[in-house]
């Protein structure tokens, strides 16, 4: 792994024209990774452009450089070096990155998903990292680049948001040590708290009510799920940040081990977000249907409406719970 880190850092140091791409519907970790790495490279005089398919949510604008992320179109020409951050595969960027588009490019893949395909010319993938910003921190250190207060803020946002504000079990002592160092370096934790944890849109409140009204809990109380119909999504037109954290409304119910939120993103296409608390591997469940992510947090897209998706995933969840119960009884 250290060799991968060394090679990745060296490739970035040698590159002059770089595009950094984050995944569609950018969250705090992919955006923090992109902005921290981009800002650090720009300070060395490199030509760096930041791309995302979608507009960055306004609540992230307290991070320096958030307003410089360019919405990518298929007509744009990528430079010689393309860096993907927090993307288990290039398709998660959400735009047409065909082999022809990427042909001849140096691809650098920095990620923390267990399902990562190692698709890059250089791959620095540490799936045990609490957030991808933890990996970016090590890349910057390996390059010998200084971490300014702006970069520290971007990295801290990623660490905080991808670990449930340091409450999830993906938090290691290393994660906390890095967070402490970033705080010492000037990370703006006050703006993070106010913008990300003490502000809730009216659209989000409306969806929370809808979720609770459509809540289903299994007889044994270990599986809970709810859904947001495609019609509701169309009527509300929520931003990705309005959706962030909604799954916790279900997961936090006492006794629930596995929670799923189904969202109708198209009339016949549903996105399922899966979460678990203690023992269940939801990455395994998502993988059964072509999805993936992490042990405690994963996702999958299903061709069909929310009712179909719920009926499809439900038996798989119940079987996982049954197998665990049988093991515990031995």
The encoded tokens of residue 151 equal 């970069």
Q: Does residue 1 register a pLDDT over 50? A: no
Question: What does the pLDDT average to over 108-135?
Answer: 95
Question: What does the pLDDT average to over 99-113?
Answer: 91
208: helix, coil or strand?
helix
Q: Which residue(s) pair with 228 in the sheet? A: 263
Sheet order of strands, 258-266 included = 216-217, 223-228, 258-266, 269-276, 297-303, 292-293
The encoded tokens of residue 232 equal 């509701």
Q: Does residue 45 register a pLDDT over 80? A: yes
**What's the pLDDT tens digit per position in 242-296?**
888 899 999 999 999 999 999 999 999 999 999 999 999 999 999 999 998 889 9
pLDDT at 326: 86
Distances (CA, A) of 59 to 26, 66, 131, 145, 239: 12, 10, 20, 28, 11
The mean pLDDT of the chain is 94
Name the percent of the chain lying above pLDDT 70: 98
pLDDT at 155: 98
Question: What does the pLDDT average to over 107-133?
Answer: 95
Separate counts of helices (H) and strands (E) for the chain: 13, 12
Domain assignments of the chain as residue spans, ordered by start: 2-197, 202-329
Distances (CA, A) of 300 to 170, 197, 285: 20, 26, 9
Q: 2-197 falls under which CATH superfamily?
A: inorganic pyrophosphatase (n-terminal core) (3.90.1640.10)
Asked if CATH classification 3.10.310.30 holds for the domain at 202-329, the reply, yes or no, is yes
Distance between CA atoms of 313 and 226, rounded to whole angstroms?
Answer: 12
Question: pTM (2 decimals)?
Answer: 0.87
pLDDT at 3: 60
- The rounded Cα 305 to chain-centroid distance in angstroms is 24
Per-residue pLDDT band at 98 (split at 50, 70, 90)? confident
pLDDT at 212: 95
Tell me how far apart the terminal alpha carbons of the chain are, to the nearest angstrom: 38
Question: Which of 115, 93, 119 is closest to 106 using CA atoms?
Answer: 119
Distance between CA atoms of 17 and 46, rounded to whole angstroms?
Answer: 6
Q: Does residue 12 register a pLDDT over 80? A: yes
pLDDT at 97: 83
**What's the pLDDT tens digit per position in 144-164?**
999 999 999 999 999 999 999
Per-residue pLDDT band at 330 (split at 50, 70, 90)? low
pLDDT at 240: 80
Q: Does residue 230 register a pLDDT over 80? A: yes
Are 286 and 209 in contact by the 8 Å Cβ rule? The answer is no
**What's the pLDDT tens digit per position in 231-243?**
999 999 998 878 8
């Amino acid at each position: 792994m250290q060799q991968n880190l060394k090679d990745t850092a060296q490739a970035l140091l040698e590159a002059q024209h770089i595009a950094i791409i984050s995944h569609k519907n950018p969250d705090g970790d992919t955006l923090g990774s992109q902005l921290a790495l981009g800002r650090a490279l720009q300070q060395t005089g490199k030509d760096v452009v930041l791309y995302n398919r979608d507009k960055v949510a306004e609540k992230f604008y307290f991070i320096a450089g958030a307003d410089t992320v360019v919405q990518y179109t298929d007509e744009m020409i990528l430079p010689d070096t393309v860096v993907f951050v927090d993307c288990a595969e290039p398709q998660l960027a959400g735009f047409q990155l065909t082999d022809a588009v990427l042909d001849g490019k140096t691809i650098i893949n920095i990620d923390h998903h267990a399902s990562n395909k190692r698709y890059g010319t250089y791959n620095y993938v540490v799936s045990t990292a609490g957030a991808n910003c933890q990996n970016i921190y090590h890349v910057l250190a390996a390059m010998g680049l200084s971490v300014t207060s702006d970069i520290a803020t971007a990295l801290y946002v990623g660490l905080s948001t991808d670990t449930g504000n340091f409450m999830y079990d993906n938090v290691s002592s290393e994660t906390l040590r890095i967070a402490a160092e970033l705080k010492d370096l000037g990370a703006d934790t006050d703006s993070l708290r106010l913008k990300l944890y003490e502000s809730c849109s009216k659209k989000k409140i409306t969806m929370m009510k809808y979720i609770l009204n459509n809540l289903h809990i299994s007889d044994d109380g270990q599986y809970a799920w709810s859904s947001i119909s495609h019609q509701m999504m169309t009527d509300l037109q929520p931003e990705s940040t309005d959706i962030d954290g909604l799954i916790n409304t279900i997961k936090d119910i006492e006794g629930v081990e596995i929670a799923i939120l189904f969202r109708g993103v198209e009339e016949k296409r549903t996105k399922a977000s899966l979460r678990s608390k203690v023992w269940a591997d939801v990455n395994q469940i998502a993988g059964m249907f072509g999805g993936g992510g992490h042990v405690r947090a994963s996702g999958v897209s299903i061709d069909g409406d929310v009712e179909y998706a719920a009926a499809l995933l439900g038996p798989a969840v119940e079987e996982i719970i049954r197998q665990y119960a049988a093991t515990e009884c031995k």
